Structure 1
């Protein structure tokens, strides 16, 4: 079974447990904390994935880092995963939980890449337009890429709209050459 499938199953179970205990938002914050910690400390994930390090030691590390900082429901998944010898996928479970949380809360993430920073008015127009078309709450991430010259690239889920001047110039170039 693939890591993403296993992570998805654990994440779904965790979100169901969090709903049952009415601590979904707290568990979400805990999973974000774990993901951030794993990203900032690759050594942590190497240790958790190492077959040489005993599972009791791995659980001790997780206890030291997270037990006093996270909700008991969140820590229970660390405990279960350690007993099941799947510590190496804790980061994937945390990431999958965040996706499940977004689905549960009706949140859609979108990314806008533009040649300059968006003004508050343009940002609001993007959010309003995307909210109207998806019916979901939009979390808009902005990135600046000066090579676009003008326009923007919008990514929403698996869709992308390239309205950049750079792509239009490249299309014109291809048309002129052929």
Structure 2
């Protein structure tokens, strides 16, 4: 919980610095995150305490030379490395994306189900439903969940719509046992 609170504070500060400098921090962090995720060696270097701060900074300097990133983002990454908090980068990145999405007027969410994929028409209907009934402009991504027997579960922030067979059976069981 503490790490999440710290990550939110860093994310808010970084977003504000980005606004002052007219930098799209969310976009730059997305680009940086993609680069980090593509290289197992870079992930190991950054997130394991095997390497020194100096080694991490040297490698990141070389990485930054090949990227077009603002001084705000570069300085922030160097700061996290120096303070030995680079391990928070994935959480901070997630929080920055959430804040950015809120400011742009939409939220990200997931549709979970047992099928391999859902149709675009189904996704559109869910997005329309959320907009009309909950006032939420959502961007939904489908995730297959082996624990769901049939039906779907939609999660957007703290809103959860559970139309899975498992949930309905659980509610039925509670009704029978409590009467």
TM-score, normalisation: structure 2: 0.77
Rounded Cα–Cα distance in structure 1 between residues aligned with 2:51 and 2:149: 51
Any conservation in 1 of the 2:149–2:164 contact (CA below 8 Å)?
Answer: yes
Distance change >3 Å, CA 121–CA 107, structure 1 → 2 = same
Partner of 1:87: 86
- Structure 2 unaligned spans of 5+: none
Counterpart position of 1:137? 137
Hey, what's the Cα distance between the residues in 1 that align with 2:65 and 2:134?
Answer: 38
The question of 1:23 aligning with 2:19 is answered no
Aligned to 2:69: 71
User: 1:34 touches 1:94 (CA, 8 Å); kept in 2?
Assistant: no
Q: 1:61 aligns with which of 46, 59, 62?
A: 59
Work out the CA distance in 2 between the residues paired with 1:174 and 1:134: 27
Aligned residues: 176
Q: Does 1:105 align with 2:107?
A: no
Alpha carbons of structure 1 residues 10 and 175: separation in structure 2 relative to 1, 3 Å? closer
Counterpart of 2:33? 35
| C-alpha displacement of 1:162 | 1.7
Give SS of 2:46's match: helix
How large is the Cα RMSD of the aligned pairs? 3.0
Q: Within 2, Cα distance between the matches of 1:119 and 1:16?
A: 38
- Aligned to 2:67, the other structure's residue is in SS state coil
Decide whether aligned partners of structure 1 residues 154 and 136 sit closer, same or farther in structure 2, where only a CA change above 3 A counts. Answer: closer
> Contact between 1:30 and 1:71, CA under 8 Å: does it hold in 2?
yes
Q: Which residue of 1 aligns with 2:10?
A: 10
Number of the residue aligned with 1:123: 123
Between the aligned partners of 2:41 and 2:47, the Cα distance in structure 1 is 10
Give the corresponding residue for 1:153. 153
**Is this contact kept in 1: 2:46–2:56, CA < 8 A?**
yes
Alpha-carbon separation, structure 1, partners of 2:118 and 2:37: 28
CA deviation vs aligned residue, 1:6-38 (integer Å, no higher than 9, x gap): 2222211211111122222xx212212333445
- Structure 1: runs of 5+ lacking an equivalent: none
